[in-house]
């Protein structure tokens, strides 16, 4: 039984933030974001990584940014916004999302897609 507990603790957690509102979003993508509890712009959810979650994130990739959240940022988020909530409403980030805006991938200087560990910096800027 202790092996199962260790596996549950070592599950990687992803922070997913919705960047764009529901206007001009494909119906299937909007439904997927509703299943992920991303109903509004600047909403963040913390999700355990599973194959089905990875598929859902791939489907809504142009509308969200995501990355693995570290324990320190998660603790700060829970202190400021509450610990037993399903999603976190955040402010717009200080200094913006990126120099090329939310319609360009993060790799090319924009905002959407996988940020890796830089998601922690974005969340901290959105908590100010």
Alpha carbon of residue 53 to chain centroid: 12
Between vectors from CA 13 to CA 11 and to CA 109, what angle results, nearest 5°?
140
**For residues 17 and 32, what is the distance between their CA atoms, to the nearest angstrom?**
13
* Nearest partner of 21 among 38, 5, 9, 4, judged by Cα: 38
φ, ψ for residue 113, nearest 5 deg: 105, -165
Pairing of strands 88-89, 13-18: unpaired
* Nearest partner of 125 among 42, 22, 37, 57, judged by Cα: 42
Strand partners, 89: 43
What pLDDT digit, counting tens, does each position of 13-59 carry? Answer: 999 999 999 999 999 999 999 999 999 999 999 999 999 999 999 99
What pLDDT digit, counting tens, does each position of 95-122 carry? Answer: 888 788 899 999 999 999 999 999 999 9
- This prediction has a pTM of 0.88
Residue 11 above 90 pLDDT? no
Binning pLDDT at 50, 70 and 90, where does residue 2 land?
low
Residue 9 above 70 pLDDT? no
Selected from 2.60.40.10, 3.30.1390.20, 3.10.250.10, 3.40.50.300, the CATH number assigned to the domain covering 2-126 reads 3.30.1390.20
């Amino acid at each position: 039984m202790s092996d199962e507990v260790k596996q549950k603790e070592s599950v990687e957690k992803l922070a997913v933030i919705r960047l764009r509102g529901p206007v001009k979003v494909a119906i299937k993508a909007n439904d997927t974001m509703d299943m992920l509890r991303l109903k509004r712009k600047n909403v963040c959810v913390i999700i355990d990584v599973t194959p089905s979650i990875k598929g859902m994130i791939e489907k809504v990739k142009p509308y969200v940014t995501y990355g693995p959240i570290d324990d320190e940022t998660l603790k700060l988020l829970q202190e400021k916004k509450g610990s037993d909530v399903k999603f976190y409403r955040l402010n717009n980030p200080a200094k913006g999302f990126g120099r090329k805006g939310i319609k360009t991938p993060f790799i090319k200087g924009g905002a959407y897609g996988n940020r890796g560990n830089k998601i922690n910096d974005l969340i901290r800027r959105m908590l100010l």
